[in-house]
Chains A and B, each alone.
Chain A
Amino acid sequence: MATQQTRALGKLAVSPSVFALFMWMIVPLAMTIYFSFLRYNLLDPNPICSLLSPGALLDAENRCLAGITNYSYFLTDPAFFKAMGNSLKLVGWVLAISVVGGTLLALLLDQAFYGRGFVRIMMIAPFLVMPTVSALVWKNMMMNPVSGFLAYLFKLVGLQPIDWFAHAPMTAVVLMVAWQWVPFATLILLTSLQSLDEEQKEAAEMDGTPPLSYFWYIVLPHLIRPMTVVILIETIFLLNVFAEIYVTGTAGRAGNLPFLVYQYGLIANDIGGASAGGIIAVILANIVAFFLMRMIGKNLDA
């Protein structure tokens, strides 16, 4: 890429894929923005307000254009604040569990023991299970208050089994989602642990570092960067959790923002409102990502 000519040629060569990717992103986003300003409900007996009839936008009474009504309605809906709170709670708890749990598991798997290779592979398994499947398994086999495994364990030690989805729906969802994401954190942190310089370990040994101090002063600072990566990536995915809430029917108390958008769009059939909600969710996610990047991004520079 030395000369101007090769640079120009290079740009020309990548332009088709850049164009395809750009369209891939921009068309759905543009359509969502477009819908969010429409009075567009699938139950409307006279559904003229849709993408398929742009002429309707120009009719005299202008019934289709909603202005910012969809947005103001969504933002003032009490369900919105509850959903946002649930979103934050879910993300926060799962992050805490997966970073702490992931660190502990990574430390464990870094030790030499018989069958370590097998355990490591099994460790990743939850991450590969589809969220819908995992939710079904948890719902029917683990957390069922009568026949579930957890209920069996509770009864074994003489405790009253919990009806998870009725009495602790948020905890149940957090547990399920954390079960899926702890392996991811473990995997990233384990690779990082293994890159810890062997001579540094030995230097610490020569310095007479007790195990806890060793973890605190040598290992933890080494893990800060991969931890920020885990937090960044998980946050992006955890803001979109849907299947676990849908499958277990815990939306009433654990419903998050994506679920609220779903309720607007596919239960209330309010395409305009759902689109507005979707755009709001995108904006909020971007704000979170921005602050996250600002806060921990400087860890990644060094």
Chain B
Amino acid sequence: MGTISLIKARKAFGDAVIIPGADLDIKDGEFVVFVGPSGCGKSTLLRMIAGLEDLTSGAIHIDGKDMTNEAPSKRGLSMVFQSYALYPHMSVRGNISFGLKMAGLPKAEIDAKVAKAASTLNLTEYLDRKPRQLSGGQRQRVAIGRAIVRNPEGFLFDEPLSNLDAALRVNMRLEIMQMHKDLGATMIYVTHDQVEAMTMADRIVVLNRGVIEQVGSPLELYNRPDSLFVAGFIGSPKMNLIQGSEAKKFDATTIGIRPEHLAISEKAGTWTAKIRLAEHLGADTFLHVDAGPCGMMTVRAEGEYDATADAKIFLTPEPSRIHRFDKDGKAIRK
């Protein structure tokens, strides 16, 4: 089955250390999302699992077997690339069947598998087209089809949705989640978009400069971020981080409070603030306020909040929702 373990997996190019040493256990059938800002090493980590990058040291076990030095095609994993990487001169059928052909499967079996994959992905009528005659979403589907037919232990997705427009991205997101449910295979998904991470993942792995900052379910990361970095990265809009004297009152170097955990009042509250800007989204209104010693903050008001510029409001944080961090950016727990 598709368990994947990284054991002190390290990657360095000369003196430049990309991944100082990652330990991670991924359970069979789990949907794990690697998330982090650009250049945090999440794609490198994925490529190391795929076998497209050698490890400098450490090991990768797939399905309990040491696969550290195994060829990519022998690892039982399929990969969906960011650019899709379809073979431009082959038809959709050719693209999907290529891996099977290389594996030397009999033609009848290949045809059956391609037909099955094509019908699940709604590609049947496009089988004889070339990739350039397809739309972005269809190409994406072909790339997924190419991954599915090999019947892998695990799927690796490298920012697969970043080339699609917003509406299609939401659709494909749902389709990939549905696919995960249907196939029950292990999936590792790399993205820089924390919304994708929150919505899709069973577990999220937050990476920062090659280091795994925290691993946990989306709500765990949302409710109990281990570090300042995770706190700032997970959640939209970002958590308000307050330093200085206000933080001191809570025995911390930095305190964090999410925009949705601040109560607004026009009469009284912990902090006074002046409204600078308001973003009206319909269901919510995000107020950007100047909260004096706390600095600029973002506050969520439910529904349509009638905000006038420079109006004075009072903010009160939910005490249980205040996150405290020490001077190293680590969370202080009671």
User: Which A positions have Cβ atoms within 8 angstroms of B?
Assistant: 197, 199-200, 202-210, 213, 217-218, 221-222
Contacts and interface: CB of A to CB of B under 8 A. Distances in A.
Contacts of A197: 83, 85
Given A206-B78, A207-B150, 20 more contacts: A197-B83, A200-B85, A202-B81, A202-B85, A203-B79, A203-B86, A205-B73, A206-B72, A206-B77, A207-B73, A207-B98, A207-B99, A207-B102, A208-B71, A208-B73, A208-B74, A208-B99, A208-B102, A208-B103, A221-B87
Interface residues of B, number: 25
B50 interface: yes
A299 to B, nearest CB: 11
B94 to A, nearest CB: 9
B83 A199 contact: yes
B170 interface: no
A81 to B, nearest CB: 41
Contacts of B71: 205, 208
Nearest to A302: B132
Interface in B65-100: 71-74, 77-79, 81-83, 85-90, 98-99
B52 interface: yes
A197 B85 CA distance: 8
A86 to B, nearest CB: 37
B190 to A, nearest CB: 14
A206 B73 contact: yes
Interface string B35-51: 00000000000000011
Instruction: Give the dominant DSSP class at B's interface.
Output: loop
B102 A213 contact: yes
Contacts of B77: 206
B110 to A, nearest CB: 13
B82 A199 contact: yes
Contact of A206 (B50, B86, B87, B90): B50
A207 B143 CA distance: 12
A242 B64 CA distance: 69
Interface hub of A200, A203, A221 (most chain B Cβ within 10 A): A203
Given A205-B73, A206-B72, A200 B87 contact: yes
B102 A206 contact: no
Given A197-B83, A199-B81, A199-B82, A209 B102 contact: yes
Contacts of B51: 205
Q: Which 6 A-B pairs have the closest CB atoms?
A: A208-B73, A207-B99, A199-B85, A203-B85, A221-B89, A199-B81
A62 to B, nearest CB: 62
Contacts of B85: 197, 199-200, 202-203
Contacts of A222: 88-89
Contacts of B90: 217, 221
B165 to A, nearest CB: 21
Interface in B124-180: 146, 150
A224 B139 CA distance: 23
Contact of B81 (A203, A208, A217, A218): A203
Contacts of A217: 87, 90, 98
A143 B131 CA distance: 52
Nearest to B150: A207
A112 to B, nearest CB: 14
Contacts of B146: 203, 207
Contacts of A202: 52, 72, 79, 81, 85
Given A203-B79, A206-B78, A207-B99, A218 B87 contact: yes
A290 B81 CA distance: 42
9 contacts: A199-B83, A200-B85, A203-B146, A204-B98, A205-B72, A206-B99, A207-B98, A208-B74, A208-B102
Contacts of A221: 87, 89-90
A206 B98 contact: no
Contacts of A203: 79, 81, 85-87, 146
Contacts of A200: 85-87
A218 B87 CA distance: 7
A210 B71 CA distance: 11
Contacts of B103: 208
